[in-house]
Amino acid sequence: MSRPQLKTDTSLWPGVAALGLFGVLAVTFLGADLPDPAGFGANAAMMKSIGAAMFGLEASALVGDGATAVDADSFLVVFEIIDLVLVGALVGAIMLARREENGENVSVTSTTDSDSTAVAADGGPGGADE
């Protein structure tokens, strides 16, 4: 056996359900009546408006001559949601990367049974060097 074999003794219902869900979502998205996209004017001061909304200032106080302020309150909600998702991903990555031996955390300068200092990056005891 030199190549992968197709596993046929499993149930096909999860695949059928996934295809059905894809079909429902495709019909829903393709049949949706969306309005024409509307952008901001050429002289809209987006960054200044978002900065003013973050600090609770009036956007017209920061926007210079010839530029128009934009209502940026809805941008702040999206900004905070992205912030929470990224912080959660960072905490999850740190928890997954934490190394443990025998149920105890291993620090970077932990000592092994052979009285040598093992750095966590080198694989520790039983790593590639042994």
Whole-prediction pTM value? 0.42
What is the per-residue pLDDT for 115? 47
Provide DSSP, 25-69.
Answer: HHHHHHH--PPPP----TTB-HHHHHHHHHTT--HHHH--TT-B-
Q: Which residues of the chain have pLDDT under 50?
A: 115, 118, 130
